[in-house]
Structure 1
Amino acid sequence: MADYTYQDVAKMIDHSLLNPTLSVADLEAGIELAIAYDVASVCIMPYHMKRCTEMLAGSTVKPSTTIGFPHGGNTTAIKRAEAEQAVADGCQELDMVVNISKVLSSDWDYVQADIAAVIEVAHAAGRKVKVIFENCYLNDDQKIKLCEICTALGAEWVKTSTGYGTGGATHDDLKLMRKHAGDDVQVKAAGGVRDLDALLAVREIGVTRCGASRTAEMLGEARKRLGLPAIDVTATNSSGY
Structure 2
Amino acid sequence: MYKIMIVEDDAKIASLLENYIRRYGYDTFRVQDFDQVLADFEQWSPDLVLLDVNLPMFDGFYWCRQIRAISTCPILFVSARDSKMDQVMALEHGADDYIPKPFDSDIVIAKIRSQLRRAYGSYATKTQERTVSYDGLVLYPERLELTWQGKTVELGRKEAQLLETLLQRPMRVVSRDRLLEKLWDEQFVDDNTLNVYVTRVRKKLKELGYEGAIETVRGAGYRFKGGEEA
Band of TM-score, shorter chain:
0.3 to 0.5
Greater relative CO, 1 or 2 (CA 8 Å, sep 6+): 1
Give the helix-richer structure, 1 or 2: 1
Give the strand-richer structure, 1 or 2: 2
TM-score, normalization: structure 1? 0.31
TM-score, normalization: structure 2? 0.32
